[in-house]
Structure formats: C-alpha cells, structure tokens
Structure 1
Amino acid sequence: MKRLKGFWMLVSSIILILAACGNNDEKDQKDQNEETVGPIQAELSVPKTADLGEAVLIETKVTQAEELVDDADEVKYEIWMDGQKSESEMLEATKLENGHYTLEKAFEKDGKYIIQVHVTARGLHTMPKKEIVIGDDEMAMADYDDHANHDEEHSELSINFMKPDNTKAGSEVMLMSHVELNSQALENARVKFEITQDGESEPTWVETESETAGEYKAMYIFDQAGHYMINVHVEKGQEIHDHIEEMLMVTE
C-alpha cells in the first residue's frame, strides 16, 4: 500500500514538473512574440527624375523590428500627377526576395508625379510617398526641391486594427485601432469605423474616442452573425486622410 502511494506521488510530481516546463515554454514564446511586435516600416525608393517613356524601377523594402517582411498581405503603388489625385491609378507590386516589392512604370506625360506605396502586413498598414519629375519640367523640378524632403518626413502613416476575439452577434464589443505617424502615436485625429455586412450596400459609421495617445476605441453591437468589412478611416487636417480595410467574422 505504501509502495502504491509512493508511486502515485512520483507520478504527480512528474506531471507538475512537465506542466511547469510547458508554462515556461509558453511564457518564453509569448515574450519572444512580444519582442517582435512593432510597426511595419516601408522604405520606398523612387528616382528623383526620369525621361519621358523610360521604364522607372520603383522599390519598397518592408521590415518589422528590423526583420525583413516576406509575407505582406498586399503591396500596391498608387500613382498620380501632382494635383490630380482623383485620377490616380493603383498598381500591384511584384514580390521579390528579402522583403522587397517592386514595380516598373513608364510615364507618358511630363510633370511631377506622386508615388505612394500602400503596404498591408501582419494586421498593420503603412503608406509612405515620394515624388518623381518626368521630362524637362523646370517648374516641377523647382517645386520638387522645395517640398520633397518635407513629404518624406511626414508621410509614414501606420494603421493597425485590433481584431476582437470571438465576436458574437448581440454582444457589445470594443473596436480599437492604433495609429502612428513616423513611428509616433498620432494624436487628435478623427478616426471612424465604416462597418458593412457582406451583401449589404449601406454602411454604419461609428465615431471613436481616444484616451491614450494613438489609440482610438468605440463600443459596438453587431445585430447579426456573418462577415463584415471594417473600414478604418483616419483624418487629420488637410495632410492626412487614409484608410484600411479588414474582414471580421461575427458568430451566433
């Protein structure tokens, strides 16, 4: 009887040791994951000038915590002539190795163009932009020299929508987005959630509040189960106006 009791004590001790090891492994993995969390960075490379009809190589290197990002969900280049953003074109990037995403583009008119890359990766979004002058346009070149550096310093916008876990119809849930500009929390912005259920045409608009710098929240109840498109709009002054889209599944 004593031997049997001792046997079960030994088994219990082994189970406790294994559980402790498992918890430590989980903690180590969690700590490791937390260390790699951070904003994504998109280093956009665009030539200063190019000739009319010349094939221009546009390239973006995407990183997170100094690690190359090879699994971006989407990388697109939006290109428009200065002052004509409403007529911009959106072009898919070609994925290369080592976190590089490229595009070749030939321009058909002289002038100054804006090139903005839209990068969505790991639940984050960033959209830096640069300028290029095509052909012999002295006025555009002078304007480039005056404003190019300013644009580079103020165009690194990152939007992160924090998807809630186990979202259920009829239950109140917190919707939250983190917004950064040049890796710094963006304060005093207007952030809205545009919510559209799959198959519906009319969205619901939800205004957010911010108690912590760069963190924008709103409480919301989804009436029905299904797939929803969450469009996060960020606005501040005349310089910042952009958005990202995320899908959210709501269960019964």
Structure 2
Amino acid sequence: MKKNIWTIMIILALTLLAACGGNDNENTANEGSEEPAVLEVEFELPETANVGETIEPKATVTYGEEMVKDAEFVRFEYWEQGHEDDSTTVDATNNEDGTYTAEISIDQDGVYEMYAHTQAREMHTMPKKAVTVGEGSSDETAGENEEDGGHEHGHHADGFSMDFSQPKNVQTGQETDLTVQLQMDEEPLENANVQYEITSDDNSDFHEWVDADENEAGEYSAAYAFDEAGAYTMTIHVKNDDGLHEHEEHEVEVK
C-alpha cells in the first residue's frame, strides 16, 4: 500500500515539473516572438506660412512606448520644391521631453519640402512634409517637378556618388535584389554601413529597415520581398566611420 502511495506521489511530482517546464518554454517562445521596437517620428509642420513668418517644425521622437529624450541628433533640412541640391539644414533644439523644435524663416514665395532627419537608438529615419510659403510655386516650377521622374537624388558631399539599380517589374512575394554602387573620389567606397529604409505610400504604419552587405568593393546588396502591392518609398542611407552620412530617395512600384 505504501509502495503504491509513493508511486502516485512520484507521478504527480513529475507531472507538475513537466507542466512548469512547458510554461517556461511557452513564456520563452512568447518573449522571443516579441517584435523589436521601432524608431518613430511624428513630424509637425504647418501647411502654409507667410513670407518672412517664423515657422516652427516639431519632431516628437519615440522608440516603442518610450519618449526619446536623448536623440543623437534631429535636423530639419528644407529646400524649394524642385531644387533639393540647394537645401538648408538647421539643428533642432532638444526640449528634453521627446520633442525637438526649430525656428525657420523663408523670405520667398514657393513650396518648400522638409526632412526631419532623426538619429537615435542606432537607427535613422527622415519623415518629409511640405509647406506653402506666400503664394506658393509658379506653374513653371510645378512643371519642373512633374518632370522629375518620380524619385529624388539629394545633394551629396563632394566626391561622393551613389548609383542605385532601380528594380523593374517588382512582384509581391518574390525577393527583389536591391543593389547600389558607391564611390568616393571616383574610387569604390568600401566598408560603409548601408541600409534601405522602406515605407509604404499607402500605409503610414508600414516602416522597415533592411541591412545591405558589401559583396564587391563599393557594391552593397540586399534581398527583400514585398508582401503587398502598391507604391513604396525606398531611402538608401549610407554612413561610415569618417563621418559620411548620405541618403537618396527612390520610388518603387510593386504589382
């Protein structure tokens, strides 16, 4: 009789241990399935302003649920539409509450586009908005913008060049090769940190980063599969240990 009792107790103990182990495994699996936090910037810019009026762009920076009060930098870069190679950059003031602001005055009529360059948590993001100053742009300027070809090539540092192989016939669910050639002073730029930032023009919540590998000297590639059809903006970010920080924006249509 005692032998049977001891046998039953041992079986119960083993059952409890197995149950605890299963819960631990389940918890570990759940922890492992948590998505990493993403750097987000809520960019506020008035839609219109008067010539000479002080414009106050504002960036509210978050990382997951955390307000980022110590961003490496926030910079507002702006230019008249169609003239991105003649841009002006202003460092934002850190208000130490997760918000970053600046004061900008524009003394000519026109439509001006602006990036909120934000670097924090080893990530970079650069939302863009536009403000119409005074009477806005002329019909001639608007025509130039329509002929721009659907993507923007920013003004780069002296000697730096970026040649992106624009993907064609991109299909959903199929891996697409993303390749860019980088040069500095007509020589391949090696050992750079290259990332593709992908956002959806149709879904403001979609925001992904893809790291590129240097397969050959100055050539950086990555493979990416788009899950849904639509228009996407792809921003190529380039950094290196010498302080280089460049970007270029392209449009990709997925069918």
| Structure 1 length-normalised TM | 0.51
Listed one character per residue, the Cα deviations across residues 18-69 of structure 1 (whole Å, up to 9, x for unaligned) are xxxxxx9xx99xx69x968322001110001111111111100000113211
Listed one character per residue, the Cα deviations across residues 108-155 of structure 1 (whole Å, up to 9, x for unaligned) are 110000011111111111110000001123768xx7xxx9xxxxxxxx
| 2:241 alignment partner, SS class | strand
1:162 corresponds in structure 2 to none
The reply to whether residue 181 of structure 1 matches residue 199 of structure 2 is yes
Give the letter aligned to residue 78 of structure 1. Answer: E
1:247 corresponds in structure 2 to 241
2:97 corresponds in structure 1 to 98
| 2:218 alignment partner, SS class | strand
Indicate if the aligned counterparts of 2:77 and 2:116 stay in contact, CA closer than 8 A. yes
Distance 2:127 2:102 in 1: 15
1:107 corresponds in structure 2 to 106
Q: What is the RMSD of the two structures over their aligned residues, measured on CA atoms?
A: 4.1
Distance 1:241 1:58 in 2: 22
Unpaired runs of 5+ residues, structure 1, are 1-23, 148-172, 196-203, 215-236
Give the letter aligned to residue 222 of structure 2. Answer: E
Q: 1:136 to 1:70 in 2, by over 3 A?
A: same
Q: How does 1:93-172 map to 2 (within 5 A)?
A: 93-137=92-136
Unpaired runs of 5+ residues, structure 2, are 1-23, 147-190, 201-205, 243-255
Distance 1:77 1:117 in 2: 5
User: 4+ residue stretches of structure 1 with deviation over 4 A?
Assistant: 175-178, 190-195
The reply to whether residue 208 of structure 1 matches residue 207 of structure 2 is no
Listed one character per residue, the Cα deviations across residues 178-210 of structure 1 (whole Å, up to 9, x for unaligned) are 7442534478xx957599xxxxxxxx4132232
Give the letter aligned to residue 41 of structure 1. Answer: E
Distance 2:214 2:102 in 1: 31
1:71 corresponds in structure 2 to 70
Q: 1:93 to 1:36 in 2, by over 3 A?
A: farther
More helix by share: 1
| 1:247 alignment partner, SS class | coil
The reply to whether residue 50 of structure 1 matches residue 49 of structure 2 is yes
Indicate if the aligned counterparts of 2:212 and 2:221 stay in contact, CA closer than 8 A. yes
Distance 2:215 2:72 in 1: 21
Count of residues in correspondence between the two structures = 157
Give the letter aligned to residue 87 of structure 1. Answer: D
| Structure 2 length-normalised TM | 0.50
Distance 2:47 2:70 in 1: 29
Indicate if the aligned counterparts of 1:36 and 1:65 stay in contact, CA closer than 8 A. no
Distance 2:55 2:86 in 1: 20
Indicate if the aligned counterparts of 1:125 and 1:244 stay in contact, CA closer than 8 A. no
1:71 Cα offset (Å): 1.5
Identity %: 26
| 1:86 alignment partner, SS class | helix
